[in-house]
Amino acid sequence: MSDPSSLSGLRHLAPQQRLSLVARAKQLSDAQAQSLSGGALDLATADGMIENVIGLFELPLAVATNFQINNRDYLIPMAVEEPSVVAAASYMAKLVRLNGGFVTTSTDPVMRGQIQLLQVPDPGAAEQALLAASDEIVALANTHDQALQALGGGCIGIEVHRFNETAVGPMLVLHLLVDVRDAMGANTVNSKAELVSPLLERITGGKARLRILSNLADKRLATARIELDPQTLDTDNYEGIEVAQGIVEACAFAEVDPYRAATHNKGIMNGIDPVVVATGNDWRAIEAGAHAWAAAKGRYTSLTRWRLEQGTLCGSIELPMAVGLVGGATRTHPAAQAALALLKVESANELAEVIAAVGLAQNMAALRALATEGIQRGHMALHARNIAISAGAEGEQIAEVAGKIVAMGDVSLDAAKAVLNQPDG
State the catalytic residues: 82, 266, 282, 379
Which phi and psi (to 5°) does residue 204 adopt? Answer: -100, -20
Alpha helices in 144-227 (DSSP H): 146-150, 186-204
Please choose, from the candidates 135, 133, 123, the residue with its C-alpha nearest in 3D space to the C-alpha of residue 200: 133
Contacts of 410 (CB under 8 A, 6+ apart): none
> What residues form DSSP beta bridges with 175?
114, 159
Contacts of 387 (CB under 8 A, 6+ apart): 402, 405, 411, 412, 413, 415, 416
The Cα–Cα gap between 103 and 108 comes to 17
Burial of 35 (0-12, 13-18, 19+ CB in 10 A): buried
End-to-end CA distance of the chain: give it in Å, rounded.
41
Q: What stretch of H or E contains 163?
A: strand 154-163
3-state secondary structure of 400: helix
Instruction: Please tell me what DSSP assigns to residue 279.
Output: T
Please choose, from the candidates 338, 360, 355, the residue with its C-alpha nearest in 3D space to the C-alpha of residue 265: 360
